[in-house]
Amino acid sequence: MIEPFAIDADIAQASTLPGRAYTDPQIYDACRQRVFARSWQLVATIDDVRVPGQTHPFTLLEGCLDEPLLLTRDRDDALHCLSNVCTHRGTIVCEHGGIEKNLLCRYHGRRFELNGRCTFMPEFDKVVGFPGPSDDLPRVQFGTWGKFIFASLDPHVPLEDIVAPMQERLAWLDHTALRFDPTRSRDYLVAANWALYCDNYLEGFHIPFVHPTLGQAVDYGQYSTELYNWSNLQLGVGKSTEGCFDLPASSPDHGRQIAAYYWWLFPNTMINVYPWGISINIVKPLGVDRTRVSFLSFVADASKLSRGAGAELDRVEREDEAVVEAVQKGCRARLYDRGRYSPDREQGVHHFHRLLCRMLFE
């Protein structure tokens, strides 16, 4: 049983998460069960299951939840998200993506339709009531934002509640132009707790001190944070028009020099929208002080890659890693307990901490 902690609703009076929130294995395990097992995770794109018959196996939050799942598009062109574990003896059903007529377990030959329904198994003629609903592959809830597919084992809220503010603000965004660029995508291993990485992302307070190059592209004085129920937006305003969006009149930000939209979706997904496209960061816990951060780049206009706030993402990431790993060491200190928030600059961190406590203790 972990000792509860709370965050005051008034940021001017609140103290931050205690250091043990980032170092206690029991708190980390509680996050796995109470936060991540109930969260929405970005797992694929529509391009991964584009045609009827296509299958796309994946592991949900590998290293944390390790749940084998499967996306399929059946012959009627309907999309499904299923457990990828055979309901007979637990074998992984689909080990490689491809185009299939049905799903066949290689262990004992149990057969499933692409919608997960069990239809046949050898030597089961004498089994009463076979096949029944319990023999079907369990269905997993999923949803989309644009071309991106999210899935959840046991969602705490509907996906729409999380992505609606982003959908409304970015209604002008053309997802069809986005193309995954593997050469600009990679994983980073960070020797720090997953929540510390999120803390760092959720404030621009450190930009003048940690990111000199980024500080030349965005106007720190106009940097702002907007809070929503299960997400928030950090708005990066450019110092000049170079490297900024040419926003349509339908955008609420029309006429402003917007260099970047930094969206955070609780608990661990960052969707960074630049004039060149989208950089998605998925923060994947591997242990109490180990985290994998997947950077996924989707490019719409390659001519804009070298300009503005989204120009040197690898450098910014390495600068963030260094400071976050230093904070992890500090949180282990016997003489550190809790800090205070800047009401002007750390609204996003305060918001995240309150949501985390809500999921852990309410």
Of 62, 38, 36, 66, the residue nearest 195 (C-alpha)? 36
For residue 50, the enclosing domain spans 41-147
Which residues partner with 150 through β-bridges? 42, 143
- One domain, residues 83 and 170: no
- One domain, residues 106 and 229: no
Q: Would you say residue 168 lies in a domain?
A: yes
CB 246 within 8 A of CB 19: no
- One domain, residues 169 and 133: no
- One domain, residues 53 and 79: yes
- Taking each helix axis as running N to C, give the angle between helix 347-361 and helix 25-34, from 0 to 180 degrees, rounded to the nearest 10: 80
Tokens, residue 100: 């299939």
- One domain, residues 94 and 171: no
pLDDT at 287: 98
Number of Cβ within 10 Å of residue 232's Cβ equals: 22
Grouping H, G, I as helix, E, B as strand and the rest as coil, residue 293 is strand
Alpha helices (runs of H) in 194-285, residue ranges in sequence order: 194-201, 207-210, 212-217
Which residue, of 102, 122, 147, is where some domain finishes? 147
Q: Would you say residue 308 lies in a domain?
A: yes
- One domain, residues 118 and 206: no
Grouping H, G, I as helix, E, B as strand and the rest as coil, residue 335 is coil
Q: What is the DSSP letter of 93?
A: S
- One domain, residues 246 and 125: no
- One domain, residues 238 and 333: yes
pLDDT at 209: 87
User: How far is CA 152 from each of CA 33, 40, 355, rounded to the nearest angstrom?
Assistant: 13, 5, 18
- What's the average pLDDT block by block, 10 residues per block, for the chain (362 residues)? 93 98 98 98 97 98 98 97 98 97 97 98 96 98 98 98 98 95 96 98 90 85 95 94 92 95 98 97 98 97 90 89 96 96 97 98 90
Q: Would you say residue 253 lies in a domain?
A: yes
- One domain, residues 252 and 111: no
The residue ranges of DSSP E strands in 220-306, in sequence order, are 224-227, 231-237, 258-265, 269-274, 277-287, 290-299
Question: How far apart are alpha carbons 137 and 83 in whole angstroms?
Answer: 6
CATH number at residue 292: 3.90.380.10
Q: Would you say residue 10 lies in a domain?
A: no
- Provide the domain count of the chain: 2
Q: Would you say residue 250 lies in a domain?
A: yes
Which H or E run includes 137? none
CA 208, 214, 217, 221 torsion: positive or negative? negative
The residue ranges of DSSP E strands in the chain, in sequence order, are 41-45, 54-60, 67-73, 79-83, 98-99, 103-104, 111-112, 118-120, 141-145, 148-152, 179-180, 186-190, 224-227, 231-237, 258-265, 269-274, 277-287, 290-299
CATH number at residue 112: 2.102.10.10
Which residue, of 85, 120, 147, is where some domain finishes? 147
Q: Would you say residue 26 lies in a domain?
A: no
Which residue, of 147, 176, 211, is where some domain finishes? 147
